[in-house]
Amino acid sequence: MTRVFAHTLRPAILAAGRRETLRRAAERLPVARKVVHRFVPAATIGSALNSVAALRDSGRYVSIDYLGEDVTDADDADAAVQVYLDLIDELGRSGDPADPSDGGVSPLEVSLKLSALGQSLEQDGEKIARENAWAICAAARRAGIWVTVDAENHTTTDSTLSIVRDLRVDFPWLGTVLQAYLRRTLGDCAELAASGARIRLCKGAYDEPASVAYRDDAEVTDSYLRCLRALMVGRGYPMVASHDPAIIDAVPAIARESCRRARDFEYQMLYGIRDGEQRRLAGAGNRVRVYVPFGTQWYGYFMRRLAERPANLAFFLRALAER
């Protein structure tokens, strides 16, 4: 089942996610909008803030992502920056700052993709993305909000980590995402954990070649757990981004081995997936942060989540059955 999915259905779903005609057709279907709303709850900042408030009332932390990536026009990158600045301004007005008694961990965070900020532009893309991300981080610092830089496909990894290292000089609290299915990630985990970085560790969402990524589910899970151990013994702040019960069940023992308390790391899950498990973990005294995407460009995000792994597809289908 897993092998058939990986070699047939997954590439097909990812390819469908890039089809403009399919995107337009899906966005017109009322049933599609109802399904997607379960996982992308808002199109505007105002409606996204309603979701944030509900999650905070339930004791969970939040990371908000404005959907969009691979911009090819500098004006589009500027527009994305402005949305983030407006979002941060509104979050700053919410009066929900980091609690010094809780180790200074911010309950509010924005997640951003560098390709949405200009990284993919043909001329000076990396420079433009760095400057745009710096402006967002500066606004977030003033508001007492965290920022985490998302991972994208493997061709952007070196550029992304270079920008993150530069930004952390001014914003040492800046987080970044590492993908456990990449063969290089264990080394990246060791390096960044030694520097004290915040790292969101996920399995990985892109269709990468075997030359750079593990493609078997068992190998990916094994890599994830090895990477997580490297983060736990390091000086940084691990963020365990997974819905996989096998990984979640393994976390307490890994934390104990590394002499970490519940306040020394956090769990992260996507909005709309395993809500009951999110609440259970938070109720047991763990930090749980929910990744909340918003915006109108939901189609690519939604299709990538479906294609990510057979288990994720099962989570989405199970969630639909619960409606």
Sequence-distant (≥ 6) Cβ neighbours of residue 221 within 8 angstroms: 203, 244, 246, 247
Among residues 6, 1, 9, 27, the alpha carbon closest in space to that of 301 is found at 27
Q: Which of 23, 130, 200, 274 is catalytic?
A: 200
37-67 in b/e burial notation, b at 16+ Cβ within 10 A?
ebbbbbbebeebbebbeebbeeebbbbbbbb
How many of the other CB atoms lie within 10 Å of CB of 125? 20
Backbone CA torsion sign across 112, 115, 119, 121: negative
Q: How far apart are CA 55 and CA 322, in angstroms?
A: 19
200 annotated active-site? yes
Contact of 269 with 243, CB cutoff 8 Å:
yes
Q: Give yes or no: 229 in active site.
A: no
- Other CB atoms within a 10 A radius of the CB of residue 287 amount to 23
From the list 150, 188, 217, 244, the catalytic residue is 150
Question: DSSP assignment, residue 14?
Answer: H
**27, burial (CB in 10 Å: exposed 0-12, middle 13-18, buried 19+):** middle
Which backbone phi and psi does 189 adopt, to 5 degrees?
Answer: -60, -45
Among all residues, which ones are annotated catalytic?
150, 200
